Amino acid sequence: MQDPNEDTEWNDILRDFGILPPKDEPKDETEEIVLRLQKEAEVKPFERMTLKELNEAEDGFDEDDMKALEMYRQQRLQEWKILQKTQKYGDLREISGEQYVKEVTNAQKDVWVVIHLYRSSIPLCLLVNQHLSLLARKFPEIKFIKAIVNSCIQNYHDRCLPTIFVYRNGQIKGRFIGVTECGGTNLKLEELEWKLAQVGAIETDLEESPKQNITDMMMSSVRSASVHDTSCASRDNDETKCYSHRNF
Q: Where are the beta strands (DSSP E) in 46-161?
A: 92-94, 112-118, 143-148
Q: How far apart (Å, rounded) are the C-alpha atoms in residues 193 and 179?
A: 16
Residue 228: exposure state from Cβ atoms within 10 A (0-12, 13-18, ≥19): middle
Q: How far apart (Å, rounded) are the C-alpha atoms in residues 167 and 55?
A: 39
Total-model pTM:
0.56
pLDDT digits (tens, 9 = 90+) for 212-244: 544 455 556 656 655 555 555 455 555 555 545
Q: How far apart (Å, rounded) are the C-alpha atoms in residues 138 and 224?
A: 32
pLDDT digits (tens, 9 = 90+) for 2-44: 565 666 767 667 776 666 677 666 555 566 666 666 665 554 5
Reduce the DSSP state of residue 130 to 3 states and report it. helix
